[in-house]
Homo-oligomer: A and B are copies of this chain.
Amino acid sequence: MREIKTVRWDDETDSILLIDQTRLPHSYRSIRCRTVKRLITAIHRLEVRGAPALGVAGAYGVALAALTIHEKDFIRYLDKVTIAAHAIGDARPTAVNLSWGVQRVLSRVYLADSIEEAQALSLTEACTIASEDAAACHAIGKNGAALIGSGSTILTHCNAGALACSEWGTALGIVRSAVQTGKEVRVIACETRPLMQGARLTAWELKRDGIEVTVIPDSAAAHMMRKGEIDCVIVGADRITPDAVFNKVGTYMHAVCAHAHSLPFYVAAPLSTFDPMHTEEEIVIEERDRDEVAFYGSYATVPERVPVRNPAFDATPLTLISSIITESGIIRPPLDWDSIGPIRRII
């Protein structure tokens, strides 16, 4: 497998390097964020996306704030870091990992007694989060691979791969780990409208690693299930509440159809994706710009003045999910929040 480092810290220049996911598969290049403002722009533009990657990016973002804010008074410094941290955490509302990463680093800043200590603690914590995310993905991969029979065809939606994490991936981490243990697996990647993360990113990642992948329109998934061409579904998650999994819009539809065809429907996510503090109805589903659906480059597919709905995510009730695969093991709904290990509380 060829290494992909989606989000990393550059010690020499104190900046964050992100693989620009809007340019793939055409060009594979990095963006350097030297300021919090640039990082927030990158999050808005989806140059970095994917729940675990957003957690790592948010964590590095607070470290970046701690290192770049010019303020000598420690109390005013803490205020400014806090404001910057909240701005990063609010850049996208649905994936819980972003605010989780931000809060985790911010809580270290508050433990410091000086600006220098705050800078050191925040960067150390952000690096720890990145390492833990990589380790979590490998553990998810190992745990999930045990569920996958050799010869399986796995349907996935959007990109829950190395590009959605610090490396390896969650759903695609399971695919990679299965391949690594000698299993033959092939992946059906739903293209994932409107921004084509399945076609552009999942197909690119898997092709690069020599794993067999075929792209289909999202609407062909149920047809392929009915034809017996899918053995299971594995997706990532942006937030898991005690009643629902939030993930890229279309996940719910695949879950309903998998259930109708008695196919296992697996969610692969690190514990940082769990949100025990909220229920589905409290979570805002981000509604993104009309133009993402209505245009392709400069080409309009929707007539002028016709409205568009563009929810970025949907919620799948846990009753439709066979298992959630975490770094701590495999859990089955109904979720017992006390038994699934150290669920990190955000607040």
State how many angstroms separate the Cβ of A291 from the closest Cβ of chain B. 12
* Residues A223 and B293 in contact, CB atoms below 8 Å apart: no
Q: Name A296-310 residues within 8 Å CB distance of B.
A: 296-297, 299-310
Chain A positions 267 through 299: 1 when the CB is less than 8 Å from some CB of chain B, otherwise 0: 000000000000000000000000001101101
* Residues B217 and A218 in contact, CB atoms below 8 Å apart: yes
* Residues A214 and B309 in contact, CB atoms below 8 Å apart: yes
What residues of chain B lie closer than 8 Å to A238, measured between beta carbons? none
- A-B residue pairs, 8 tightest by C-beta: A219-B250, A222-B253, A223-B314, A25-B303, A193-B217, A296-B296, A218-B219, A199-B301
Q: Name A226-265 residues within 8 Å CB distance of B.
A: 226, 249-250, 252-253, 256-257, 259-260
What residues of chain B lie closer than 8 Å to A250, measured between beta carbons? 217, 219-220
| A contact residues vs B (CB 8 Å cutoff) | 25-26, 157, 188, 190-194, 196, 199-200, 203-204, 207, 213-224, 226, 249-250, 252-253, 256-257, 259-260, 293-294, 296-297, 299-311, 314-315
CA distance A315 to B301 in the complex (A): 26
Q: Is the interface of A mostly helix, strand, loop or mixed?
A: mixed
Interface centre among A193, A222, A224 (most CB of B within 10 A): A222
What residues of chain B lie closer than 8 Å to A213, measured between beta carbons? 306-307
Q: 10 more A-B contacts (CB under 8 A) besides A26-B300, A199-B293, A223-B315?
A: A191-B301, A193-B193, A193-B217, A203-B306, A215-B302, A222-B252, A223-B314, A226-B252, A226-B314, A260-B260
* Residues A220 and B311 in contact, CB atoms below 8 Å apart: yes
What residues of chain B lie closer than 8 Å to A26, measured between beta carbons? 300
What residues of chain B lie closer than 8 Å to A249, measured between beta carbons? 217, 219-220, 223
What residues of chain B lie closer than 8 Å to A25, measured between beta carbons? 300, 302-304
Query: Which of B297, B306, B315 is in CB contact (< 8 Å) with A297?
Result: B297
CA distance A301 to B192 in the complex (A): 11
What residues of chain B lie closer than 8 Å to A257, measured between beta carbons? 253, 256-257
* Residues A217 and B293 in contact, CB atoms below 8 Å apart: yes
State how many angstroms separate the Cβ of A94 from the closest Cβ of chain B. 13
State how many angstroms separate the Cβ of A262 from the closest Cβ of chain B. 13
* Residues A219 and B193 in contact, CB atoms below 8 Å apart: yes
* Residues A303 and B252 in contact, CB atoms below 8 Å apart: no
CA distance A196 to B294 in the complex (A): 10
What residues of chain B lie closer than 8 Å to A302, measured between beta carbons? 25, 191, 199-200, 203, 215
* Residues B296 and A299 in contact, CB atoms below 8 Å apart: yes
* Residues A193 and B218 in contact, CB atoms below 8 Å apart: yes
